[in-house]
């Protein structure tokens, strides 16, 4: 018995010359809630479609419980998909939509009826059997789409931005419901989204992707607190990313000032990316700061204030519950633990790519 | 790739019944039969340049243009009135416009003989009122009448279609800005209806310039059009080469008029074949 | 008020112009005289004789059988082609579409003689088969033009969703794709049938061996004077079509009360264009609707 339910080995995908995926390796445990996260065009949906069987990888293979299923058509795979725009069959009612897969398996009507009504109660839509799917609201259609996939008792459920079309409040509710469902049913979920908050809320494991490559795989906490490179840091939450020079272990120079940190193992005088979260910067009286600057703008964000502090030619983004008025001169300090040092990205254009990705 | 089996039968069909026949027309059009066999020659094009044929071509184009203009003059107001609020049941009116076309067009054209004859219905009505007789049967006028009669709905429908989709608030806006009804028409309604007009013109001109039936029935065979020439070459004379040459010329005329019309229609609709 | 009256009067005049020949035709189908022009009293004898007229009955038979066969075959080929084409992209799609448009845009007479040359070239005896082949050929593009927009509207994920739920491609097509595009397929079939029974020019060049449809029969009769039986037949056919049209319309407006407005409008447009006898025109109307 293989320990991973799904494994991608060096999977790449070319679309007429453009590389959508560049050699992905990914292992997914049974019962895991895995989220593929990244900006649009990063290859997350392509990865999902390759697992679902809608696309053939150009190279590499897809393993299901250790068996290569790369050549298997979608209808022979033990995975089911919840499509982004639901893809409910408009000429069938709710009951027939959910029963679609069961009818293919030639189950008897009594069993079908029982399974469908159980699914409907699972998604809180009991009594909707004979409703036309086009008469349902977006949220209800989404539940039907989930029920239609789950009724086939797949081992893996693929979800392609399933909440993208819902409004914020409904989305939050569905996030919790989906997570509960996954835990109750014990099914592996592979979830695609570009919403980092959604990813962090729901997942056991987050796979951050960009430009057809995996940037980092880790738990939500790891991804947030220990981003492996500037892209991840920038994409997950908000960050200040600035050039630094590693003077020695546990000491970095930022804007000409020495900052103690906790990172080791860099070359002496190595040029590095320094990532500092806005909430990790403390504003102190000018005399007490390592850096000094002027508050240029203040925006009230509800829980906190977002301030831009100009130090020389760099604008630091600072989140704080205490406000400093515009024009005030302030000092900035950061605890060593909150400074994240990472190797510069591969090429000089990398920083530009990050900019693009960020939009 | 995966579902190309669906396209294959059609592709084969298309090649055999669309591409090959047209290629054959081109082949016959640019060759002649000589004693030593088939030879490439443009002599049939030269032959067409003779006055007798050019006169036929000119007559075809002239009658088609006249019919198109008459259709536009008669049809545009009809389209505008139907799109307006003169009638309660617009859809029914449009349907009524289309209904006559359900009767075989040869018969409808033929019925005009009964109406136009020397002792026909129109003349007996005119006679009752002491008005002069109308003797247009077997003249150019009768052919034009036949064309207008057959193709008028093709002028009205596209103009109506565009006009009924027109945003009425544009007209109100123009009035609000001080335009009287003439200016509203000239500056707002007419320019916006142009795509329909262009469609209508193509839809009338094309069948009119290629017809051989209307001229045969109402022109009594005297008013030979290019369509009649082609028919004769294939069915009576048996000179397929010359017939094909004339078909090619006809296709070029259609092509040019469509290019011209598409240009008039504005750049946003360019693309597609023509 | 005055303006509205003038408007109505003008439209009435134009409608009179359009309906006059039809009216004449119908009236003369009850005229107790062989020659047109003189009214010699009311009779139903043409309606009775109609059914024992060999020539007319044979033309009617061929018209209907060619209409049905060409509609069915062109619907099958055209629908399949539309589905195949929908998956195709870029240059190849453009090429196929442009060739498809050729018979639509070409003058009928050119299509007719081109097919005739082909059949003679291939040593096919002009007759039933060549007539059928020609009708299928000019019908396929209209079926494709009816089905393609439906495919375009179709959510591509529906097919994938069916596969995902375990349907084989064949089953997915039958249960998901086909029901969704059915309105387009039916429209295409109706359009094909209408165009076929109404065609004269292409049939004229591609038939022979005594096989003629109604249009050809009428054309050949025109020289000797139209037989009033044809008037009787046309009147009957016209009334049948009219009745069908009214029934369909009533049914659609009933449906309309339950369902959306959109469906109704599009079906209506289809009927408007389906009923126009000229092929080029129907396609142009189509184009106009797509904009």
Name the H helices within chain B.
4-14, 20-29, 43-48, 51-83, 90-98, 105-116, 121-128, 140-164, 168-176, 181-183, 190-210, 213-218, 226-232, 240-264
pLDDT tens figures, A68-97:
998 889 998 889 999 988 889 988 999 999
Residues B55 and B32 in one domain: no
Comparing CA positions, the residue from A343, A82, A119 lying closest to residue A233 is: A343
Question: Quick one: pLDDT band at residue A111, thresholds 50, 70, 90?
Answer: very high
> Which residue range is the domain that position B82 belongs to?
51-269
- Give the pLDDT means over successive 10-residue stretches in chain C (291 positions): 87 93 88 74 88 89 95 95 86 88 87 95 92 95 90 88 91 91 90 88 91 88 78 86 76 53 37 41 47 38
Cα separation, A84 vs B255, in Å, equals 45
> Which residue range is the domain that position A275 belongs to?
230-358
Cα separation, C203 vs C111, in Å, equals 10
Residues A205 and A300 in one domain: no
Residue of C nearest to B74 (CA): C14
Residue C81 belongs to some domain of the structure: yes
Cα separation, B233 vs B240, in Å, equals 6
DSSP A268: T
> Which residue range is the domain that position C236 belongs to?
44-290
Residue B128 belongs to some domain of the structure: yes
Please tell me if residue C259 touches chain A, with a CB cutoff of 8 Å: no
Domain of A323, CATH number, reads: 2.40.50.140
Residues B35 and B55 in one domain: no
Q: Are B24 and C37 inside 8 Å of each other by CB? A: no
Cα separation, B22 vs B16, in Å, equals 10
Give the model's pLDDT for residue A2: 54
Q: How many domains does one find in chain B?
A: 2
Show Cβ contacts of residue A289 under 8 Å, excluding neighbours closer than 6 positions. A283, A330, A331, A332, A333
Question: Quick one: pLDDT band at residue B10, thresholds 50, 70, 90?
Answer: very high
Cα separation, A203 vs A197, in Å, equals 10
Chains contacting B with at least 3 CB pairs below 8 Å?
C
Please tell me if residue C258 touches chain A, with a CB cutoff of 8 Å: no
CB-nearest to C77 from B9, B108, B202 is: B9
pLDDT tens figures, B90-129:
888 888 888 888 788 888 888 888 888 877 778 888 888 8
Residues A165 and A24 in one domain: yes
Cα separation, C60 vs C217, in Å, equals 9
Residue C7 belongs to some domain of the structure: no
Question: Which H or E run includes A61?
Answer: strand A59-64
Q: Are B111 and C21 inside 8 Å of each other by CB? A: yes
Chain C interface disruption, residue of A51, A87, A146, most C CBs within 10 A: A87
First to last CA, chain A: 43
Of A225, A259, A276, the residue at which a domain comes to its end is A225
CB-nearest to C163 from A73, A85, A91 is: A73
pLDDT tens figures, B27-70:
999 998 888 888 888 888 999 999 999 999 999 999 999 999 99
Question: Which H or E run includes A19?
Answer: strand A18-29
pLDDT tens figures, B63-86:
999 999 999 999 999 999 998 888
The answer to whether C159 and C106 are in contact (CB under 8 A) is no
Q: How many CA atoms lie within 13 A of B127 on its CB side?
A: 9
**Residue A311 pLDDT > 60:** yes
Residues A168 and A235 in one domain: no
Comparing CA positions, the residue from A75, A21, B73 lying closest to residue C161 is: A75
Q: What is the mean pLDDT of residues A303-321?
A: 91
- Sign of the Cα pseudo-torsion (C220, C222, C228, C233, in order): positive
Q: Lowest-pLDDT range, A105-109, B15-19, B258-262?
A: B258-262
Q: What is the mean pLDDT of residues B240-267?
A: 84
Q: Are C166 and A104 inside 8 Å of each other by CB? A: yes
Distance from CA of B114 to the nearest CA of C (A): 6
Residue of A nearest to C178 (CA): A91
The SS3 of residue A256 is coil
Residue of B nearest to C15 (CA): B97
Question: Which H or E run includes A21?
Answer: strand A18-29
Residues A177 and A29 in one domain: yes
CB-nearest to A105 from C166, C168, C179 is: C166
Of A190, A209, A225, the residue at which a domain comes to its end is A225
Cα separation, C290 vs C285, in Å, equals 9
CB-nearest to B3 from C84, C96, C281 is: C84
Kindly provide the b/e burial profile for residues B27-41, where b requires at least 16 CB atoms within 10 angstroms of the residue's own CB: bbbbbbeeeeeeeee
Residues B219 and B256 in one domain: yes
Give the model's pLDDT for residue B241: 92
Q: Are A87 and C158 inside 8 Å of each other by CB? A: yes
Helix, strand, coil percentages (3-state) for chain A, rounded to 5, are 30, 35, 35
Rounded to two decimals, the ipTM of the complex is: 0.87
Cα separation, C264 vs B91, in Å, equals 11
Residue of C nearest to A83 (CA): C157
Domain of C108, CATH number, reads: 1.10.3720.10
DSSP A280: G
Question: For chain C, what is the radius of gyration of the CA atoms?
Answer: 22
Of A190, A208, A225, the residue at which a domain comes to its end is A225
pLDDT tens figures, A150-200:
999 899 999 999 888 788 888 888 899 899 989 988 899 999 999 888 999
Residues pairing with A292 in the sheet? A331
Residue B274 belongs to some domain of the structure: no
The answer to whether B63 and B143 are in contact (CB under 8 A) is yes
Query: What is the residue-averaged pLDDT of chain A?
Result: 88
Question: CB neighbours (10 Å) of residue A325?
Answer: 8
Residues B191 and B98 in one domain: yes
Domain of B253, CATH number, reads: 1.10.3720.10
pLDDT tens figures, A225-269:
888 888 888 888 888 889 899 988 889 999 989 999 988 888 888
DSSP A263: -
Domain of A151, CATH number, reads: 3.40.50.300
Residues A42 and A188 in one domain: yes
Cα separation, A220 vs A199, in Å, equals 8
First to last CA, chain B: 28
Residues pairing with A253 in the sheet? A245, A258
Residues pairing with A189 in the sheet? A33, A157
φ, ψ at B271 (rounded to 5°): 105, 175
Residue of C nearest to A105 (CA): C166
Residue C36 belongs to some domain of the structure: no
pLDDT tens figures, B190-224:
998 998 999 899 889 999 999 988 998 888 777 78
Residue C19 belongs to some domain of the structure: no
Cα separation, A220 vs A58, in Å, equals 31
Residues A163 and A74 in one domain: yes
Comparing CA positions, the residue from C272, C205, C182, C217 lying closest to residue C62 is: C217
Question: For chain B, what is the radius of gyration of the CA atoms?
Answer: 23
Residues A323 and A217 in one domain: no
DSSP C276: -
Nearest 5 degrees, angle CA B211-CA B216-CA B222?
Answer: 115
Percent of chain B residues past pLDDT 70, beyond the cut: 95
In the structure, how many helices (H) and strands (E) does chain A have?
9, 20
Residues B12 and B105 in one domain: no
Q: What is the mean pLDDT of residues A262-281?
A: 89
Residues A137 and A235 in one domain: no
Residues A168 and A247 in one domain: no
Q: How many domains does one find in chain A?
A: 2
Residue of B nearest to C115 (CA): B21
Show Cβ contacts of residue C73 under 8 Å, excluding neighbours closer than 6 positions. C132, C136
Residue C253 belongs to some domain of the structure: yes
Show Cβ contacts of residue B83 under 8 Å, excluding neighbours closer than 6 positions. B90, B160, B163, B164, B166
Cα separation, A158 vs A176, in Å, equals 17
CB-nearest to C234 from B96, B103, B231 is: B103
Cα separation, C263 vs B81, in Å, equals 25
Residues B190 and B97 in one domain: yes
Please tell me if residue A15 touches chain C, with a CB cutoff of 8 Å: no
Q: How many CA atoms lie within 13 A of B246 on its CB side?
A: 27
Residues B21 and B70 in one domain: no
Distances (CA, A) of B82 to A10, B75, B88, B228: 66, 10, 10, 36
The answer to whether A284 and A320 are in contact (CB under 8 A) is no
Q: How many domains does one find in chain C?
A: 1
Cα separation, A162 vs A45, in Å, equals 12
Give the model's pLDDT for residue C253: 64
Distance from CA of C141 to the nearest CA of A (A): 27
Residues B135 and B253 in one domain: yes
Chain B interface disruption, residue of C16, C90, C106, most B CBs within 10 A: C106
Q: Are C166 and A152 inside 8 Å of each other by CB? A: yes
Residue C84 belongs to some domain of the structure: yes
Comparing CA positions, the residue from C141, C154, C159 lying closest to residue C183 is: C154
Residues A148 and A288 in one domain: no
- Sign of the Cα pseudo-torsion (B160, B162, B163, B167, in order): positive
Give the model's pLDDT for residue B249: 93
Taking phi over 0 as left and psi of -120 to 50 as alpha, with beta for the rest, A55 belongs to: beta
Residue C15 belongs to some domain of the structure: no
Distance from CA of B117 to the nearest CA of C (A): 8
């Amino acid at each position: 018995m293989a320990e991973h339910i799904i494994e991608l080995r060096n999977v790449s995908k070319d679309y007429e010359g453009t590389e959508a995926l560049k050699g992905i390796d990914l292992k997914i445990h049974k019962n895991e809630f895995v989220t593929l996260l990244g900006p649009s065009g990063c290859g997350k949906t392509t990865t999902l479609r390759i697992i679902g069987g809608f696309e053939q990888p150009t190279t590499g293979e897809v393993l299901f419980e250790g068996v290569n299923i790369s050549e298997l058509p979608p209808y022979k795979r033990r995975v089911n998909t919840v499509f982004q725009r639901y893809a409910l069959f408009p000429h069938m009612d709710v009951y027939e939509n959910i029963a679609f897969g069961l009818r293919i398996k030639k189950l008897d009507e009594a069993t079908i009826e029982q399974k469908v009504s159980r699914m409907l109660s699972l998604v809180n839509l009991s009594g909707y059997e004979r409703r036309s799917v086009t008469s349902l609201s977006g949220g209800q259609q989404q539940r039907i789409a989930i029920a239609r996939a789950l009724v086939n008792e797949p081992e893996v459920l693929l979800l392609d931005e399933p909440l993208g079309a819902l409004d914020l409040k409904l989305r939050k509710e569905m996030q919790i419901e989906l997570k509960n469902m996954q835990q109750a049913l014990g099914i592996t979920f592979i979830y695609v989204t570009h919403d980092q908050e959604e990813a962090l809320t729901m997942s056991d494991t987050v796979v951050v992707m960009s430009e057809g490559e995996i940037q980092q795989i880790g738990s939500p906490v790891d991804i947030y607190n220990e981003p492996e490179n500037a892209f991840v840091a920038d994409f997950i939450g908000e960050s200040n990313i600035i050039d630094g020079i590693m003077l020695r272990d546990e000491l970095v120079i930022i804007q000409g000032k020495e900052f103690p940190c906790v990172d080791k193992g860099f070359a002496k005088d190595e040029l590095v990316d320094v990532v500092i979260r806005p909430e990790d910067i403390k504003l102190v009286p000018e005399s007490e700061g390592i850096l000094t600057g002027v508050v240029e703008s203040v925006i009230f964000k509800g829980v906190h204030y977002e301030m831009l502090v100009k130090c020389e030619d760099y604008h630091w983004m600072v989140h704080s519950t205490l406000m400093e008025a515009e024009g005030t001169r302030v000092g900035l300090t950061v605890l060593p633990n909150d400074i994240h040092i990472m190797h510069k990205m591969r090429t000089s254009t990398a920083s530009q790519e990050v900019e693009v990705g960020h939009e | 790739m995966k579902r190309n089996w669906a396209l294959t039968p059609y592709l084969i069909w298309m090649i055999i019944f669309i591409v090959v026949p047209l290629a054959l027309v081109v082949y016959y059009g640019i060759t002649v039969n000589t004693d030593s066999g088939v030879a490439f020659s443009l002599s049939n094009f030269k032959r067409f340049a003779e006055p007798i044929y050019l006169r036929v071509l000119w007559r075809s184009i002239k009658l088609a243009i006249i019919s198109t203009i008459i259709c536009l003059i008669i049809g545009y107001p009809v389209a505008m009135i139907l799109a307006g609020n003169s009638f309660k049941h617009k859809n029914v009116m449009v349907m009524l416009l289309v209904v006559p076309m359900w009767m075989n067009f040869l018969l409808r054209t033929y019925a005009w003989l009964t109406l136009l004859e020397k002792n026909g219905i129109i003349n007996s009505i005119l006679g009752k009122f002491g008005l002069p007789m109308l003797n247009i049967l077997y003249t150019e006028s009768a052919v034009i009448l036949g064309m207008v009669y057959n193709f008028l709905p093709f002028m009205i429908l596209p103009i109506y279609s565009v006009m009924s989709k027109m945003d009425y608030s544009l007209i109100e806006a123009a009035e609000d800005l001080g335009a009287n009804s003439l200016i509203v028409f000239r500056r707002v309604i007419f320019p916006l209806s142009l795509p329909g007009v262009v469609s209508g013109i193509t839809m009338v001109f094309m069948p009119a310039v290629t017809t051989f039936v209307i001229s045969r029935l109402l022109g009594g065979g005297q008013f030979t059009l290019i369509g009649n020439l082609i028919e004769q070459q294939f069915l009576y004379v048996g000179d397929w080469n010359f017939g094909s040459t004339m078909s090619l010329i006809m296709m070029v005329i259609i092509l040019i008029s469509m290019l011209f019309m598409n240009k008039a229609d504005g750049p946003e609709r360019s693309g597609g074949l023509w | 008020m005055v303006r509205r009256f003038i408007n109505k009067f003008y439209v009435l005049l134009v409608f009179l112009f359009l309906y006059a020949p039809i009216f004449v035709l119908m009236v003369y189908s009850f005229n107790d005289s062989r020659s047109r022009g003189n009214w010699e009293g009311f009779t139903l004898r043409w309606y009775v004789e109609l059914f024992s007229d060999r020539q007319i009955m044979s033309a009617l038979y061929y018209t209907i059988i060619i209409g049905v066969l060409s509609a069915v075959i062109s619907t099958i080929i055209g629908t399949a082609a539309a589905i195949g084409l929908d998956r195709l992209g870029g240059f190849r799609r453009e090429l196929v579409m442009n060739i498809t448009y050729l018979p639509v845009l070409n003058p009928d007479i050119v299509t007719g003689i081109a097919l005739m040359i082909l059949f003679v070239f291939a040593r096919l005896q002009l007759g039933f088969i060549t007539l059928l082949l020609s009708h299928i050929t000019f019908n396929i593009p209209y079926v494709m033009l009816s089905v393609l927009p439906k495919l375009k509207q179709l959510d591509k994920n529906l097919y994938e969703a069916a596969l995902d739920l375990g349907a084989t491609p064949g089953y997915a097509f039958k249960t998901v794709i086909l029901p969704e595009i059915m309105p387009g397929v039916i429209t295409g079939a109706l359009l094909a049938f209408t165009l076929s029974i109404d065609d004269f020019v292409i049939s004229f060049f591609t038939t022979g061996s005594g096989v003629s449809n109604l249009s050809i029969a009428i054309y050949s009769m025109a020289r000797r004077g139209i037989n009033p039986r044809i008037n009787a037949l046309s009147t009957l056919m016209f009334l049948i079509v009219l009745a069908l049209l009214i029934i369909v319309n009533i049914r659609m407006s009933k449906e309309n009360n339950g369902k959306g407005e959109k469906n109704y409008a599009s079906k209506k447009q289809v009927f408007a264009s389906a009923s126009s006898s000229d092929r080029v025109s129907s396609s142009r109307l189509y184009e106009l609707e797509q904009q």
